[in-house]
Amino acid sequence: MKTEWRGGRRRTLTLLLVGAVAPAAWLAGCASGGGVRDPSVLEREIGRVAYQDVNLTVDKILTTKYAFPIRRHEENYNTLYFETDWIPRDAEPDEVNRGVQRVRTRIILTGRRGSQDIFRIQFRGESEYLIDGQWRRLPLQSPQREKLQRILSDLDMEMRSGVRTR
């Protein structure tokens, strides 16, 4: 009888612990699970691109066409990283009505090597808004989102056309 009671007690304690810990673990998983996106950032995967096409496209599209100078460029055998300078612009009239004084944008491209000289490229466009003398991250406004999507589209088209011709 004593053994059965201990077994029952262990099961009860186990169930109580699981019942107490599981919701907390589940909530922590939800908070850090990556399901929530930063509304001040536009992130997309461009896809698989040859190493040479990445470098040519960054120069042609980001630097020449959109005048985003590369501030930081790092690469090693497995990864690529391009970060542009922040490019400021005056606020649009509807942004001024919301207290925005200036807006700045930068682009970050990262790549991870797949097979041979093919990299999987990620695009990240970030904007910050100057309000009351402080740069803040706010959800992308329509003009900023459209500009970032246009840059992303041009990068994507240029990079993919290079891969197709090989």
More confident residue, 30 or 108: 108
CB count, 10 Å around CB of 78? 10
Cα–Cα distance for residue pair 135/91, rounded to 1 Å: 13
Is residue 104 predicted with pLDDT exceeding 90? Answer: yes
Helix (H) / strand (E) containing 27: helix 2-32
Helix/strand/coil for 100? strand
CA 26, 32, 34, 38 torsion-angle sign: positive
Q: What's the CATH number for 41-164?
A: 3.30.310
Max CA separation in the chain (angstroms)? 83
How much is the pLDDT for 8?
54
What is the pTM assigned to this prediction?
0.73
Name the residue ranges covered by the structural domains of the chain.
Answer: 1-36, 41-164
| CB of 40 closer than 8 Å to CB of 128 | yes
pLDDT digits (tens, 9 = 90+) for 25-77: 333 334 444 556 788 899 999 999 999 899 999 999 999 999 999 999 999 98
Is residue 84 predicted with pLDDT exceeding 90? Answer: yes
How much is the pLDDT for 165?
38
How much is the pLDDT for 38?
83
